[in-house]
Amino acid sequence: MSISQGVFDGGEGAPPAKSAAVIEEELGAARRRRMLLIAQIGVGIGILAFWQIASGWLIDGFFISSPDAVAAQLWRWFSSGSIWGNLYQTLYAMVFGFAIGAFIGFCLGLLFGRSETIATIFDPYVTALYCIPKIALAPLFIMWFGIGIESKIAMSATVVFFLVFLNTYSGVRDVNRVFINAARIMGANEWQLMRIVITPSAAAWVLAGLKVSVPYALIGVVVGEFMSSNRGIGYLIAQASGLYNTAGVFAGLVILSVIGATMSAGVKRLERHVLRWRGT
């Protein structure tokens, strides 16, 4: 093929040109995303405006504070630098608790999912432990690990473990037997079966467990900080509550919501990357 033909044809390796219908569909999807973003921002502004108006007019400001008072409290925390040590404490405990709980839950979920005997033997004990309210474990963790950050990590890891474990176990048990039998016929050993068939098939379940466990990892840390701590966002909220500082309580809640939303967004991006083969 001559150079002129390659240029005329767009080259052998050139991707096919998009049709007008495809371009129009992509433009429509982009416009829809912009409209949804504008709607989300509008809802947020509306909520803040209603909160500001309702404070002191419909409801006593002592009970719900107001957006400007919360913003002023946040500004004082960040401008003075007093928030950074507390924020680091909470983030550190949350990330490590989440990682430890997710890793152990994933490994045991794979093990129990692949072994019917082990799952049957330990099922009543796992169920019994799962039914215990996790907040009831906080005093025990304080006795074991002290009032430092270790007890908060243990609390967070315990909550995350059960969510990831149960989702991983369900995902492994849900793998299509046809795929497993086909891999075995082609000579796959247990490790290859786990790596090529079972783990990818259960990925959606595992990632769903990770998404659900993000806010619970934060809850576990904050509960531990409520129980006994001298640092952390939970400690700031408890301190503000003891001083009847409603703005301080709401300011702490705002920070926690931002942390949880950011972590959840990260897990969603991971999900889109891992499951990109599904076109999601």
For position 124, what pLDDT does the model report? 92
pLDDT digits (tens, 9 = 90+) for 71-115: 999 999 999 998 999 999 999 999 999 999 999 999 999 999 888
Tell whether 9 and 147 lie within a shared domain.
Answer: no
Tell whether 41 and 99 lie within a shared domain.
Answer: no
* Residue 144: count of CB within 10 angstroms of its CB: 11
The pair of structure tokens assigned to 98 is 């989440």
Number of domains in the chain: 2
Low-confidence ranges of the chain (pLDDT < 50): 1-11, 280
The answer to the question of residue 60 being in a domain is no
Tell whether 44 and 163 lie within a shared domain.
Answer: no
Tell whether 46 and 73 lie within a shared domain.
Answer: no
Tell whether 34 and 8 lie within a shared domain.
Answer: yes
- Domain enclosing residue 19, as ranges: 3-54
Tell whether 104 and 130 lie within a shared domain.
Answer: yes
Tell whether 141 and 40 lie within a shared domain.
Answer: no
Q: Is 269 exposed, middle or buried (0-12, 13-18, 19+ CB in 10 A)?
A: exposed
* Residue 244: count of CB within 10 angstroms of its CB: 9
Tell whether 105 and 217 lie within a shared domain.
Answer: yes
Tell whether 93 and 229 lie within a shared domain.
Answer: yes
For position 229, what pLDDT does the model report? 82
For position 71, what pLDDT does the model report? 95
Task: Confirm if 147 and 229 have CB atoms less than 8 A apart.
Answer: yes
Closest CA to 219 of 255, 250, 264, 256: 256
Tell whether 212 and 73 lie within a shared domain.
Answer: yes
Tell whether 223 and 95 lie within a shared domain.
Answer: yes
For position 46, what pLDDT does the model report? 94
The answer to the question of residue 144 being in a domain is yes
Tell whether 74 and 180 lie within a shared domain.
Answer: yes
Contacts of 111 (CB under 8 A, 6+ apart): 118
The answer to the question of residue 59 being in a domain is no
pLDDT digits (tens, 9 = 90+) for 164-200: 999 999 988 888 778 777 887 887 777 878 878 888 8
Can you list the alpha helix ranges (DSSP code H) found in the chain?
Answer: 3-9, 20-54, 61-64, 67-80, 82-114, 116-131, 138-145, 149-173, 177-185, 190-193, 199-227, 233-242, 246-274
Distance of CA 102 to the CA centre of its chain: 11
Measured distance CA(75)–CA(183) in Å, rounded: 59
pTM: 0.81
